[in-house]
Amino acid sequence: MRNDERFEIERALDLMPHVIGASWACVWFRMKGIKKPSREEFREKTLEYLKLSEPILNSYPKEEEFTEICKYIDFRKNEEYRKIKSGKNNEIEKRYDRYVDYG
């Protein structure tokens, strides 16, 4: 698969963890009155909300011409999950720091 064929999916998967996962997690903690969740709690809540977007990640048809992009999406999704769990997604870590500093 050429890079230009996956460009839009790459951009979406770059943004989804912090725009969807961390944003919804911040609101959840704020509404629950939890000002200082642990990093692990924040990461888990981020993953919980990010995983709610899986139907869109799995929305391409199971047809031959979509096989490669579906494999790429699955790979990137799992890679993003791994990075969030391990603390290697810098945007999620920045969102956590901002939340506990400014709530």
Task: Single out the residue of 9, 11, 20, 83 nearest to residue 46, CA to CA.
Answer: 20
Instruction: Report whether 46 contacts 25 (CB < 8 A).
Output: yes
DSSP class of 20: I
**pLDDT, tens only, 17-27:** 999 999 999 99
Task: Judge if pTM exceeds 0.95.
Answer: no
pLDDT band for position 4 (cuts 50, 70, 90): confident
In whole angstroms, give the CA distance from residue 53 to residue 67: 20
Calculate the average pLDDT of the chain.
95
In one-letter notation, the amino acid at residue 60 is: Y
Q: Which residue has 């609101």 as its token pair?
A: 27
Phi, psi of 35 (to 5 degrees): -85, -25
**pLDDT, tens only, 30-44:** 999 999 999 999 999
The domain spans of the chain are 3-102
